[in-house]
Structure 1
Amino acid sequence: MTHVYSVELFPPKTAEGMNKLKQDIPQINALGPAYFSVTYGAGGSTREGTFETVAWLRSQGIDTAPHLACIGSTREQVREILAQYHAQGINRLVALRGDLPSGMGAGNSGDFRYANELVSFVRAEFGDAFSIEVAAYPEYHPQAGNPARDLENFKRKVDAGADAAITQYFYNADAYFGFVESCERVGLSIPIVPGIMPITNYTQLARFSDTCGAEIPRWIRRRLEGYGDDVASLRAFGHEVVLGLCQRLIADGAPGLHFYTMNQSGPVTCLWRDLGLTI
């Protein structure tokens, strides 16, 4: 099996943040990821930042997969974005529903309601010009209500033309393999790449996890809470946990790993090194 290892960035909100990211990217790129994905804020709130980040990555010759969230957008707006990316030589997208910005009502949700509609639109407008990746939720999306409904939603995206999927982060490998088995039972065979979140800040991680429904196992939470202000010990433990997770995922058949860098090169570089990944 050929494994695919990739990384994710988010567009910085300030010029200072962009300059820092430009300094860190060469270190990450030296690891040899297959591509960099770039996130797209709620309702397109980081649209210009996403375009700027993507354009800079492409100027450096780096394969790039922009995220494209459809909620709050019209067909014409999405068509223009796709045409821009196609003109830049981009051939990979991460197609998402996304979230409306806080304060924006459902009446402003645009022409798309779900990610499968975006996938269908991309295929209708651009055929196979883009390889399309979609989101998957091993512990199921909190808005789905239950795993069966979440699997139905995922199947709609695959049936619409998705080529592969990237999961929400998780720390329970059994949840991932259970999800993959559920997909196989209903005839879904696209690669499902685990999303990997390094552990460097417990407060931030707990907030993210409570929002997106990703479970932090109780034993991990307790250990992280116990470190308090001892950042070095917390990060050493977090590295050990995530490294072990990655090793099991690769050993047991995951098609690759997608690292959520949070725009920090250090944690991903350490994981990449200790996993023995090479260009």
Structure 2
Amino acid sequence: MTKAPNISFEFFPPKNIQACFSLFETVEAFQGMDPTFVSVTYGAGGTTRELTHDAVSLLHKEYGWNVAAHLTCVNATKEETIAIAKSYKEVGVNEIVALRGDPPKGAGKFTPAEGGFANSVELISALKETGDFKIRVGAYPDPHPEAADENADVSWLKQKFEAGADSAITQFFFEPENFFRFRDRCDRAGITGQLIPGILPITSWKGIQRFASSCGTPIPISYEAAFEHSTDHHQLSIDLCTKLCEKLLAEGIEDLHFYTLNRPTLTKAVCANLGVI
């Protein structure tokens, strides 16, 4: 039997009272599962900066989890961005997920703020110079929507590791072969840093089609037929996600990062199927 994986979870900060309840119901559901780390996102355009800081601080202090705070290059000067990172350090948070970040809604494309970091590599280099953080970054098994070709994502990831990244969390994907091909390309490029697959259980079939399209993530044709004919999308999502994870584990992957969307049920069921109780 395949060894149970090391797991980690991503949450997003609540924007209202109801969302607060959803977040902490999710957190309570994962109590006792001993994640390697948990991460907390930024909203597009840095819109949840303060909420992210509050959630990161609370999860670290009250639950004792190793928290990796998302940090982006959007809408802030270099000095402001590093100050945010140091504010995490002050509350005992030593890990950062360093990202370029999505542009503000309606902006169309990313434009560096005046006096801000131009890209994630610049941000990683600056964080590394502080000597204070373990740095995680993003990676793209399926080509990023802005990538010129599939090799561009590998080249960019190599620059991130050379700038000081410690590990990379991938965008979600549904074809394990796409991850394996990406891993092989990284190997050939001389990338030796850890690649952690990002896993997204499908909470809504219609929703995931829109989301995946915006991210450039292909959905297997077999999924469409399966969801069309299934009378139990909940169980189907668990089964498909479990199968994806099992294929990854069978090929030597030891760590999985779950995008929970602050909804614990599917992720917890998949983890149980993988032996994480």
TM range (shorter): over 0.9
SS at match of 2:97: strand
Match of 1:198 in 2: 201
Q: Summarize deviations over 1:137-173 as a string: whole Å, max 9, x none.
A: 0012110121111211111111101100000011111
Q: Does 1:15 align with 2:2?
A: no
What residue in structure 2 maps to residue 182 of structure 1?
A: 185
Residue 46 (structure 1) aligned to one of 45, 48, 54: 48
Structure 1 residues without counterparts, runs of 5 or longer: none
Task: For 2:44 and 2:5, locate their aligned partners in 1 and report how far apart those are by CA, in whole Å.
Answer: 31
Q: Distance in 1 between matches of 2:149 and 2:46?
A: 28
Per the TM alignment, residue 108 of structure 1 is displaced from its structure 2 partner at its CA by 5.6
SS for the counterpart of 2:144 is: coil
The TM-score normalised by the length of structure 2 is 0.93
Partner residue, 1:113: 118
Shift in alpha-carbon separation, 1:206–1:81, aligned structure 2, 3 A: same
Aligned equivalent of 1:139: 142
Q: Alignment partner for residue 63 of structure 1, among 42, 66, 73?
A: 66
Moved more, 107-116 or 245-254: 107-116
Counterpart contact for 2:112–2:118, Cα < 8 Å: no
Shift in CA distance, 176/32, structure 1 to aligned 2, threshold 3 Å: same
Counting only pairs closer than 5 Å after superposition, residues 159-174 of structure 1 correspond to structure 2 as 159-174=162-177
Quick one: percent identity of the two aligned structures?
Answer: 36
**Deviating more after overlay: 175-184 vs 3-12:** 3-12
1:74 aligns with 2:55: no
How far apart, in 1, do the equivalents of 2:7 and 2:45 lie?
Answer: 28
> How many residues are aligned here?
272
| Gap regions ≥5 residues in structure 2 | none
How large is the Cα RMSD of the aligned pairs?
Answer: 1.7
Deviations 1:48-90 (A, max 9, x none): 1111211210221222111111133211111111110111111
CA distance, structure 2, for counterparts of residue 34 and residue 92 of structure 1: 12
Distance in 2, matches of 1:78 and 1:43, equals 13
1:237 aligns with 2:236: yes
Deviation at 1:261, TM superposition (A): 0.5
How far the C-alpha of 1:107 sits from its partner, in A, is 5.5
Distance 1:68 1:84 in 2: 12
3-state SS of paired residue (1:199):
coil
